[in-house]
């Protein structure tokens, strides 16, 4: 039997679908962050619970660092990797006041070389994220700014889907703005979406979208 729905019902379905996708992505990033931070605290004996205040943002930052270290140091345990990840993030993004404790702990464990490698990779990631956020129209001045807006990265595909699908148009915007995981103001998010929309419009003449190695659009 064919079911006919009204335009308003159709818009509601689209909005809820986009919101669900966004919350799933951000929820996954947040849960990942909790697991890594817990492991790091066990490994280093230092509390990093303050990082959880950045929710999905911190999760989006530490995932690529974790993947890099897992790929390079397969002989290390999960908690050892988690300790390196959070130590590197604390040093690069937060200028960790516990740097001396982190240094001494890694010296005791004989992982100073691995920590140095993790910090180098994290610094490169920080620079790359800064460039991506700049393209998205987000002004970042410190490592804290980058962490605060990195929640955008896992939901970027969903935002692009909204902007590239003429049937969705901007109706799903209310779904984006009402997500419980989004901490940016509606004004800031609207500006980001408007900037993305302009960039997508300027690339409509091309059939192929330029993406980087992780699938994020270069938008350059």
Domain ranges of the chain: 27-136
Structure tokens at 96: 């960790």
The confidence band for 19, taking pLDDT boundaries of 50, 70 and 90, is confident
Q: What is the mean pLDDT of residues 59-76?
A: 95
* Sign of the four-CA dihedral 68, 72, 75, 76: negative
The confidence band for 219, taking pLDDT boundaries of 50, 70 and 90, is very low
d(CA 26, CA 76): 28
The confidence band for 69, taking pLDDT boundaries of 50, 70 and 90, is very high
d(CA 103, CA 92): 14
* Cβ atoms 152, 135 nearer than 8 A: no
pLDDT beyond 50 at 214: no
The confidence band for 32, taking pLDDT boundaries of 50, 70 and 90, is very high
Output 182 or 118, whichever has higher pLDDT.
118
Provide, rounded to the nearest whole percent, the portion of the chain with pLDDT above 90: 35
* Cβ atoms 43, 196 nearer than 8 A: no
d(CA 22, CA 32): 15
DSSP, residue by residue, 51-114 = GGGGHHHHHHHHHHHHHHHHHH-TTS-HHHHHHHHHHHHHHHHH--TTHHHHHHHHHHHT-HHH
CA 17 to centroid of chain Cα atoms: 20
DSSP secondary structure letter of residue 49? G
Q: How far is CA 172 from CA 31, 47, 154, 177, in A?
A: 25, 39, 17, 9
Output 67 or 1, whichever has higher pLDDT.
67
Output 148 or 37, whichever has higher pLDDT.
37
Output 102 or 2, whichever has higher pLDDT.
102
For residue 36, give the nearest of 79, 1, 77 by alpha carbon. 79
Which residues lie across from 217 on neighbouring strands? Answer: 211
At 138 the pLDDT is 79
């Amino acid at each position: 039997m064919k079911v006919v729905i009204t335009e308003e019902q159709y818009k509601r379905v689209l909005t809820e679908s986009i919101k669900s996708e966004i919350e799933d992505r951000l929820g996954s990033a947040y849960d990942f962050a909790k697991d890594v931070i817990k492991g790091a605290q066990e490994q280093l004996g230092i509390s990093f619970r303050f990082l959880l205040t950045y929710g999905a943002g911190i999760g989006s930052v530490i995932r690529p660092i974790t993947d890099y270290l897992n790929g390079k140091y397969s002989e290390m345990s999960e908690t050892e990797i988690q300790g390196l990840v959070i130590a590197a993030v604390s040093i690069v993004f937060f200028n960790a006041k516990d740097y001396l404790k982190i240094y001494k702990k890694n010296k005791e464990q004989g992982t100073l070389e691995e920590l140095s490698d993790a910090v180098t990779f994290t610094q490169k990631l920080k620079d790359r994220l800064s460039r991506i956020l700049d393209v998205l129209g987000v002004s970042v001045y410190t490592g804290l700014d980058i962490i605060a807006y990195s929640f955008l990265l896992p939901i970027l595909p969903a935002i692009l889907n909204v902007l590239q699908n003429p049937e969705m148009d901007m109706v799903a915007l209310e779904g984006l703005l009402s997500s419980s995981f989004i901490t940016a103001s509606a004004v800031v998010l609207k500006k980001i979406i408007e900037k993305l929309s302009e960039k997508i419009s300027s690339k409509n003449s091309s059939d192929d979208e330029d993406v980087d190695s992780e699938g994020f659009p270069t938008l350059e």
